[in-house]
Every structure is written in structure tokens, then in C-alpha cells.
Amino acid sequence: MFSIAQLQSMEKFKEELFRDLHNAVSAYSQNSGNSFLRSKSNDAITFLEIMTRKYDVAVANPPYTDSSDFGKELKAFVDGNYKKPYGFHSNLYATFIKRCAEIITDTGKIAVIHPLTFMYIKTFEGVREYILNNLHINIFVDYGLSNLFGTIMVDPAFYVLEKGIKTSDKSLFISLDQYTRTPQEKFKKEYALAALENFVSEREDKNNYSKGGPFKKWYGNLWLKIYWKDNGYAIKNDPRSNLRNKNAFFKEGITYSGSGSKGTSFRYLPKGYICDNDGSSITPRQNLDNISYLLAFVNSALVKYMVSCLNPTVNVQKGDIERVPFIAPNPILQQFVVRLSNRNIDIEKYVLSFSLIEIHFNHQPIIRYKNSRVELAAQTFFSYENHLLTQVLLNEAIINEKIFEVYELTPEDKAMVLAKEGESIGGLPVLPEARAAYLSETEATAEFPLEKILDFIESLPTMTMSGQEIADLTAKFDTLYKSNNDLEEFCITNQINPVNVWYLFKKSGVLPQQRAKTIAMEFLADLIREILNEDDDGIVPLVRNSGEEILIDRIEKKFEEKGLTSAQFAAFPTILGKEINDYINNNFFADLSDHLNLFMYLPKTPFIWHITSGPRQGFDAFIIIYKWSRDKLFTLKSVYIEKRETALRNRQSDLLGEKSAQAEEEKDTIFHQLKEIENLRKKIDELLSEGYDPKLDDGVGKNIAPLQKRGIIAYEVLNPGQLKKYLNADW
């Protein structure tokens, strides 16, 4: 906005202004003889000078004060200066982040310590966006729950942000969480300094990490299986294991995440599961054997409010849950809440059956609506899913009211809870036409009827929206499913009933590209898994002349086998974002691996691997881990690679007399492809000579590490620390 000359002029003006102000105060006070006025005026000018100056470094340990605890004047100031456009107003420490960014130079740095909440909670989404778009994270330390500042337990983050020229394109993240990284707090300083030294020296360190994970209520996140052969003999006898509360193992109950991006979430825990420190469980006592009511209770707004009062940090502890006062409801109210809770569990479980990563997966959205265009199939599925999830949110609104009844809250107490936790979005006003359409939607209501909550839906207050308001809301639909912005978050952010969102989303015909691509990728993964399982050896080449029909041709046949048309096959790239063959050759393996990265501390677990000779595609094939073995590695080399190499050499001979530009280009390509194959053959020979003998029970990490080390797979599934660990594994 300003030229260098203009900026220099402004700086000169500021310098002269402060000099003239000091001179004026000095002259006035000498004439009046008022030394006190001179002293205080000079202090004020000096303060103004300090506040308008730019600094190389800004350091802050700001106050941790929620916006609900601001006084009237502070709230007015913060809302007026820090609310828009990024939302730095929700906690006082957030305003300090913005102010520090304003007062540093174009190459300045910020060092801050404050609670970790801004990394996870939805209300700080704008803060995170601002940091990512305007600053660079130099170093970030997750210190973990700690009494660092005395007797009060806090969960702090220390970090350095920088402007302008970055000292490195990399960001260093260090985890000192005592549950997963550092056993004792007294060693945390040493761990942090060691991790920093290792980073500077380009050595790997076990405390470098990336965070992620979904917030999930009612049901889900049951992704891991534990090796419990012979009643858990191997685990029980491992000196590293620490099994607590074994009497609660495999019992029905409730599980919850101690911390998460949107707070604590409680889910039904079926029989046959166990828990750990970060995924704890609640097993009801004999005098309260109704798990469904208890689940509804702990997922209510009132319990969320009480827990936040008991522990204002993002890490909810076992003791915090135990301290929540419980009042037994009357039998009629309890039974009603139980029905709503069971319905929410059933809906969430059913919705998850459409996702490839879930244990109950058995539905494909594309197949369910195969009589539609592929884009329309995805849109129709999203509408169907939103209808079901809207019922969950309506049920939650009713549950909140019923729990308020049990505790006999006064209107003032109820208002205090809602001011902190927000109104139940399922109880917000609805468009009359949206309500009518929601009630008449037969597909979703046939599977999950609305009769239990029909009266509630019909009693919802009504509203109107102008054409411009509808257009503004519709324009935001492409943000759905981005950055965990699911239906619930979208409704909370825009303070709108999910019935209205379902209705307007369906009418809009918007296709959220990110979620559509995920559905398309999962559909392809399911087809490819089926193709590889049907194949005799579980090896399918991606390149021609390798002895078998290539994968893209088999995928096209699978489309037809599933009842999809050639037109739908041709249109599939519209939701995938790329031509299918290009995608499976260059993106699929990485996307699948990342999609299966469900836990921050565990390796990615792709069940389909992309074997490659290199970027020239001398040889490329997909294999499936369920059939992978030492013998299959021999087969890969002696059958598939051999036939591919023979075909390339034959083609090379055919081109010997050709002199056209096209022929010369093809000769060059074949030359490099044969070089790649030669190198691939050597790598396989090395693996075999070293005794590589993959076993399914050893898991992805140990089996894929030797292939990744030699560059035989198309994507680095394991990070450097994991790679080193699995290469050195002796189990």
C-alpha cells in the first residue's frame, strides 16, 4: 500500500512528532513550573512511543481469561479491535498473539507461552488460519499436562513464530506429553533440549510429531485391534506393558477422549474392547446399569459445563468425571432419554458403515445411488447422511432439555449454562418449508422413523430468510467437511438449525469437492482391494506387457460388474479430481496411506502397496498385504518384471532403424525404463539375500520398512523415526 519512500517519510514524521512533543512538554512545564506535569506527560509520550514502535522480538506470557469473564469495558475493546476478521476475541491470550504480530518488524519473531486450546478448539479456527497465512512456525512445544506454574495443573504450549525471511522452511514440533512421550516432568527440559539439538544436527528424535484426530460422540473411533492371543500372554509378559483395571477389560461401557479438537466426546463402548490412558472408559456400577442413559447424560451440555468448571484445561481427567454430581431421573424420563440415546448410537453406527476405515463398513455411497450420475450420487448421499445426522442433533437438543429437568435448573442457571456452552442447535428456529421437507423425506425416515421426536420438530419456532441470506449461506456450503467442519460445526458457526442446512444444502446442488474426492478414493480402494483379492497372487501390474491385464482395465470391468455404466466410468474423474489411470499411478497410494493415518503416534497402515522401479515406470504394480510373502517377491521378479523387461527389449530392437523425433523419444524412455528395472532387480536380490520374509501378523510397519529403505514403494509410508524402529525390529 505504501512505497519505500512513503514509509521512510512516515517514520521520519513519527520521529519528529515525538521529539516535538517532548520539547513542547518541557517548554510548557518550565514556564508553569509544574515538574509533576512534565514527568507524567513525558511518561505518557514515552509509553505511546513504545507502543507504536516496531520490535525484532516480542515475548509474552499473556493472561488466560475467557471472553465470558471479560469486564464490560474490556469486552467492548477486544470485540471492537480483535473480533474480526480472524476471531482473536475468545480468550485474552489470543489477543496477545495478534498484538505481538502487529508490533514486530517484517523479519521479527514472537515467543509465546499459553494454553494449548488454540490448537484444537473450533473457536480458535480463525487464529490458526491467521498464523498459517501470515507467520511461520519455527518451533512448537506441546509441554503436556503439568504443574509448571505451581499447584494448578495446566496444559501449556511454548512456540516461536516468525515473519519475513524464514530461518528454515521446516517447523520443529516437540511433544512432551507425559502419557505418551516423557514419563516424568523433571526430565522434560532435557527432552526438549535434546530434541532441539537433534533437529539442528539433522538427527531423528522420537519426540517430533504431528497432531490430528476426529471429535466423535455416541459411537465410533473403534479402529485398533489388540493382540490378545492366549489371553494376552505376550502383552502381560512384556516388561514395557502396564495393564491397569483389568477387571474392566472387554466389558460394555462408555469410552471418551481426554482431550480433543472440540472438547471431550463420549461414545458407546461395546463388549470385547479395552481402554487406555488417553481413551478411558466408564463402566457403570450395579446400581446404575443403564449405559444408554449415562451416555446421554455425559454428552449433555450441562455435564460439559460442569466438567469445564472442574477442569478448565483441554485435558479432562478421570477424577473430573468422577466429581460430576449425578442425580437419578424418574423412570419415565429415563426411558425416554434412553430411546433417544439408543437412536443416536444406531444412527452414528449406520452412518459409519459407509466409510472404508470402519469395522462395520458394508455400504458404498456410489453403489447405493448407482442409477444416478456420479456427481448426483455423491450429492444424494450427502443429503441422506445429513438427514440422519440432523436427527442426532435434534435428539441432543431434547436430551439437553431433559437433563435440565432432572437437575431442576432455574431459568437463571440454565441461561448461565447456555451462555457458556451455546444454545442447542437442534432447538433453533426452522424455515417452515424446511421442516415440511424434512418430515416428508421418505428414504431416511423409513430406516430411522421420527415418531419419537415428531412433536418436538413440529413445535420448533419458525423463521424466515431473505434471498440474500440464503445465497450467503449457500455460498459457504463448499466449506463443509474442510478442517473438520462437519454438519454440526457448520450449524454452530452459523447458528442455524441443521434442518435448515439439510434443506438448503439439498436444494443448492453443491458438491463439496474434498469430501467427494474422499468418497471416490474409498470407492476405488474397495474395488482395487476386491480385484487384488480375486487375483491368484495378489499382484496386478500398472504397466502393460507385464504378463497380466493391467489394473485400469480391470477397474473398468469392475464398474460394469457393479452395475455402473461406461458413462459413469467416464464421469468418475469429476469427483475424483483426476483421470483414474493418472490417479492410481501417481496419487492413490499416498492418499490411501494418509487416509489411514488414524493415530498420531502409530504408523500409517495401507493394505494396498504400490511397488515401483521409479518415475519412468519401468515397472509398476499394486500388491495386497494379505497375500504378500517372500514367495510373492520371487514371483514379482521372475514373472512380472521379467516379462516387462523382455517386452521393452523387444520394442527397443524394433525401434533401432527408426530416426523420427517420436522414435528417438521412445528409445530414450525405454533406455531409462530398463535402467530402472535393472536397479529394481538388484534391490529385490538384496532383500532376498538378507532374508526378507514378510508375515501378515507382523503388521505394515515391519513388512514395508525394508521396501521403503530401498525406494521400492512409491510413497514414504513411515516417517524417519518409524523407519529406523522397524528396520531394527527383532520381533
CA dist., res. 211 & res. 119, Å (int): 9
The domains of the chain, with CATH numbers, are: 54-200 (3.40.50.150), 219-329 (no CATH), 364-510 (no CATH), 513-727 (no CATH)
Read off the pLDDT of residues 576-591 as tens digits, 9 standing for 90 and up.
999 999 999 999 999 9
Read off the pLDDT of residues 600-623 as tens digits, 9 standing for 90 and up.
667 889 999 999 999 999 999 999
CA dist., res. 666 & res. 662, Å (int): 6
Take residue 674 and report the three cell numbers written for it.
Answer: 530398463
Quote the distance between the C-alpha of residue 682 and its chain's center: 40
Provide the pLDDT for residue 211: 28
- For 434-460, what is the mean pLDDT? 94
Length, in residues, of the chain = 731
Indicate whether 421 pLDDT > 90: no
Read off the pLDDT of residues 226-282 as tens digits, 9 standing for 90 and up.
777 788 888 788 877 777 667 767 788 888 776 554 667 888 988 877 776 555 667
Cα atoms found within 13 Å of the Cα of residue 566, Cβ hemisphere only? 1
Judged by average pLDDT, the poorest of 408-422, 498-512, 558-572 is 408-422
Provide the pLDDT for residue 472: 93
Read off the pLDDT of residues 656-678 as tens digits, 9 standing for 90 and up.
888 899 999 999 999 999 999 99
Residue 335 φ then ψ, to 5°: -65, -35
CA dist., res. 576 & res. 524, Å (int): 9
Provide the pLDDT for residue 579: 96
CA dist., res. 602 & res. 32, Å (int): 75
Read off the pLDDT of residues 184-202 as tens digits, 9 standing for 90 and up.
566 667 667 776 776 666 5
Provide the pLDDT for residue 676: 96
Take residue 176 and report the three cell numbers written for it.
Answer: 512432551
Provide the pLDDT for residue 132: 84
Read off the pLDDT of residues 93-143 as tens digits, 9 standing for 90 and up.
889 988 888 888 888 899 998 887 777 676 788 888 888 888 888 888 887
Provide the pLDDT for residue 469: 95
Report whether 538 contacts 618 (CB < 8 A).
no
Taking each helix axis from N to C terminus, what angle separates 661-689 and 642-654, rounded to the nearest 10 degrees? 160
Indicate whether 213 pLDDT > 60: no
Provide the pLDDT for residue 183: 43
Indicate whether 89 pLDDT > 50: yes
- The answer for residues whose C-beta is within 8 angstroms of residue 76's C-beta and 6 or more apart is none
Q: What is the average pLDDT value for the chain, to the nearest integer? A: 84
CB atoms within 10 A of CB 515: 18
Adjacent-strand bridge partners of 114: 157
Provide the pLDDT for residue 731: 45
Provide the pLDDT for residue 145: 66
Tell me the pLDDT band of 30, cut-offs 50, 70 and 90.
low
**Which strand ranges, in their side-by-side order, compose the sheet holding 620-624?**
539-541, 620-624, 608-612
Helix (H, G, I), strand (E, B) or coil at 282: strand
Provide the pLDDT for residue 29: 60
Read off the pLDDT of residues 494-539 as tens digits, 9 standing for 90 and up.
999 999 999 999 999 999 988 999 999 999 999 999 999 999 999 9
Report whether 648 contacts 673 (CB < 8 A).
yes
